[in-house]
Amino acid sequence: MTRSADDPFVSAVKPLVDAMGAEMLPADEAGPDDVVLSWEGVEVVAVRLPQLADSLDHILAALERKRGKPLAELDRKAKQEVVRTLEARGAFSVRHGVETVAGALGVSRFTVYNYLNREKDV
């Protein structure tokens, strides 16, 4: 049984799926790496998780939307806050994470490492 997009369960999980940068699809179309969500014993929807690198891009875009301007236009303190947020979300465990974040912030890799080290010293 496949439920529609206006199903209350699907509507309830959609914000979480969107925040992860994932994709919802009918449960019967799930692949081996997809997560199938069930409700009351019925498979409702499958969630296709993004690749880690895509997740980082999605997180950066969400932070830009939240702040209302490109991350590169933020002041130093705001950029440090962004780095703290990204570190808490595991952004720097992704291959080339520091380089990707540095590019988005309009700073050097060295600056991102300084922001990370500054947090450990506080």
Residue-level pLDDT at 4: 63
pLDDT tens, position by position, 29-38: 999 989 999 9
Residue-level pLDDT at 120: 61
Task: Using the predicted structure, report yes or no on whether residue 94 has a pLDDT greater than 90.
Answer: no
Pairing label, strands 42-48, 35-39: antiparallel
**Whole-angstrom Cα distance, residue 59 to residue 63?**
6
Task: Using the predicted structure, report yes or no on whether residue 114 has a pLDDT greater than 90.
Answer: yes
Dihedral, CA atoms, 21, 62, 54, 8, nearest 10 degrees?
A: 0
What SS3 state is found at 35?
Answer: strand
Residue-level pLDDT at 1: 47
Task: Using the predicted structure, report yes or no on whether residue 119 has a pLDDT greater than 80.
Answer: no
What SS3 state is found at 38?
Answer: strand
